[in-house]
Amino acid sequence: MMRYKRFFLQLIIILLFIGLVGILINNLIINLIRTDLGFNFYWLLKPASFALSEHALPFSPSDSYAWALLIGWINSLKVILFSLIFSTILGIIIGLSRTSKNILIKKISSFYITFIRQTPLLLQLMFWYFVGFLGLKNKFINFSNILKINTQGIEFFGLSLTPEFSALFIGLSVFTSAFIGEVIRGGIISVEKGQWESFRSLGLSERDGLIKVIIPQALPAIIPGLTSQYLNLAKNSTLAIAIGYSDIYAINDTIINQTGRAIECFIILLLTFLILNLSITNLMEKINKLINKKQIYIN
> What residues line the site for other proteins (CB under 8 A)?
6, 9-10, 13-14, 17, 24, 27-28, 30-32, 34, 101-105, 108, 114-115, 117-123, 126-127, 130-131, 135, 231, 235-236, 238-239, 241-242, 249, 253, 256, 262-263, 266, 269-270, 273-274, 277
Instruction: Please answer whether residues 93 and 110 qualify as being in contact, where contact means their C-beta atoms are separated by less than 8 angstroms.
Output: no
Distance CA 59, CA 25 (A): 36
By beta-carbon proximity to other proteins, the closer residue of 130 and 140 is 130
Query: What is the closest distance, in whole angstroms, from the C-beta atom of residue 125 to other proteins in the complex?
Result: 10
Query: What is the closest distance, in whole angstroms, from the C-beta atom of residue 299 to other proteins in the complex?
Result: 28
Counting every residue, how long is the chain?
A: 299
φ, ψ for residue 255 (rounded to 5)?
Answer: -65, -40
Instruction: Please answer whether residues 160 and 154 qualify as being in contact, where contact means their C-beta atoms are separated by less than 8 angstroms.
Output: yes
By beta-carbon proximity to other proteins, the closer residue of 46 and 117 is 117
Query: What is the closest distance, in whole angstroms, from the C-beta atom of residue 82 to other proteins in the complex?
Result: 18
Query: What is the closest distance, in whole angstroms, from the C-beta atom of residue 293 to other proteins in the complex?
Result: 27
By beta-carbon proximity to other proteins, the closer residue of 169 and 179 is 179
Other CB atoms closer than 10 Å to residue 252's CB: what's the count? Answer: 24
Q: At what angle do helices 65-98 and 248-259 cross, to 10 degrees?
A: 150
Query: What is the closest distance, in whole angstroms, from the C-beta atom of residue 40 to other proteins in the complex?
Result: 16
Query: What is the closest distance, in whole angstroms, from the C-beta atom of residue 263 to other proteins in the complex?
Result: 7
φ, ψ for residue 148 (rounded to 5)?
Answer: -120, 130
Selection from 124, 101, 103, 118 nearest residue 179 by Cα: 118
Question: Strands (DSSP E) along 136-282, which ranges?
Answer: 141-143, 147-150, 153-156, 159-161
By beta-carbon proximity to other proteins, the closer residue of 105 and 221 is 105
φ, ψ for residue 63 (rounded to 5)?
Answer: -75, 165
Query: What is the closest distance, in whole angstroms, from the C-beta atom of residue 36 to other proteins in the complex?
Result: 13
Angle at the Cα of 170 from the Cα atoms of 253 and 284, rounded to 5 degrees: 80
By beta-carbon proximity to other proteins, the closer residue of 19 and 120 is 120
Query: What is the closest distance, in whole angstroms, from the C-beta atom of residue 142 to other proteins in the complex?
Result: 19
HEC string of 104-147? HHHHHHHHHHHHHHCCCHHHHHHHHHHHHHHHHCCCCEEECCCE
By beta-carbon proximity to other proteins, the closer residue of 217 and 277 is 277
By beta-carbon proximity to other proteins, the closer residue of 59 and 268 is 268
Half-sphere exposure of 228 (CA within 13 A, CB side): 8
By beta-carbon proximity to other proteins, the closer residue of 218 and 240 is 240
